[in-house]
Amino acid sequence: MKEQIIYSMKAPYREDYVIKGYSFGKGDPSACILGPVRGNEIQQLYICSQLVKALKELESNNCIGNHKEILVIPCINNYSMNMGKRFWPVDNTDINRMFPGNDYEDTTCRIADGLMKKIKDYSYGIQFASFYMSGEFVPHVRMMETGYQNTSLANLFGLPYVVVRKPKPIDTKTLNYNWQNEMTAAFSVYTNKNDEIDEKSAKQAVAAVLRFLTRMGIIKYESHSGYISHIIMEEDLSNVETDQSGIFKGLVSPGEEVRYGQSLAEIIDPYVGEVKKVIQAETEGVVFFAHKDPLVNEGDIVYRLIHRLHE
């Protein structure tokens, strides 16, 4: 294992901003694995730390492929993580909306530019990411529909679902989109937690990455086969919204099957404790995403369902 500085920047009032990376093997830039770009992605940081640990052991046992190099960058945004902020603490900008970046504008643009220059030549890119809405997911691989996406490769992670998203204008500034434009096969991996550690899904994510690296001939590792992934388009997911605000009491979790008319959640009046609204399923399917914050606002998406079609 070799530790290296991927990007550094002077800071006037605190220690220098440094992005560290850990490389394994030597040769062609084969796979790059990235951890948190946002400061609340604790689960993603933990997963990367476990991958570093696993790859270090594999390297010591000569299990990295010949002429293959793997780079793991456990954390991009340690400033925000240290301060308990999701976005860049100075101006609240999102580094993941600044790619490909440049070296003459705002700080986050310069960070994105410096990072992109270091990782753009890898054949495969894996990012542990989080969603813009707070909640829990079924573990899955997500990718942009850029014309360069390859769902067959995404299946090799062996996670339950592969989600393909048609990019909106704002998505063209994300790492995943710009990585694909550099001809890197880019994948975003989501587990069911962000700001707390879930050991079970963390182990599933580590196993999925090692499984993918094995199937691509980058490492030698005896892995289980995992799932046969189901490919879905994001626009085919059914959103369940609430027309009431209050205390949110979820009744189902990601991965559960639900039936039409089944109670999914209760919205409770925060002052008098009465149930203001019972949210019911309008279709049969599987819970893909579930809102988990204790409060909910009118119009919020509280669940996303994988719609079950009947022949």
All structural domains of the chain, each given as residue ranges with its CATH number in brackets, are 2-228 (3.40.630.10), 236-307 (2.40.50.100)
pLDDT bucket at 156, cuts 50 / 70 / 90: very high
Can you read off the two tokens belonging to residue 42?
A: 């604790």
Can you read off the two tokens belonging to residue 143?
A: 């990718």
* Predicted confidence (pLDDT) per residue in 91-120, tens digit: 999 999 999 999 988 999 999 999 999 999
- What mean pLDDT is reported for the chain? 93
The mean pLDDT of 289-295, rounded to a whole number, is 94
The mean pLDDT of 62-85, rounded to a whole number, is 94
The mean pLDDT of 180-209, rounded to a whole number, is 92
Q: What is the DSSP string of 249-262?
A: EE---TT-EE-TT-
* Predicted confidence (pLDDT) per residue in 16-38, tens digit: 899 999 999 999 999 999 999 99
Give the model's pLDDT for residue 202. Answer: 94
- What is the reported pTM? 0.92
Give the model's pLDDT for residue 7. Answer: 96
> Parallel, antiparallel, or unpaired: how do β-strands 185-190 and 140-144 relate?
antiparallel
Does the structure show a pLDDT above 60 at 310? no
Core vs surface per residue 232-253: b (16+ CB within 10 A) or e? beeeebeebebebbbbbebebe
The mean pLDDT of 164-186, rounded to a whole number, is 93
Name the residue with higher pLDDT: 269 or 146.
Answer: 269
pLDDT bucket at 195, cuts 50 / 70 / 90: confident
Q: What is the DSSP string of 13-44?
A: SSSPEEEEEEEES-SEEEEEEE--SSTT-HHH
Can you read off the two tokens belonging to residue 134?
A: 């707070």
Give the model's pLDDT for residue 311. Answer: 38
The percent of residues above 70 in pLDDT, for the chain, comes to: 99
* Predicted confidence (pLDDT) per residue in 204-244, tens digit: 999 999 999 999 999 998 878 889 899 999 988 999 999 99
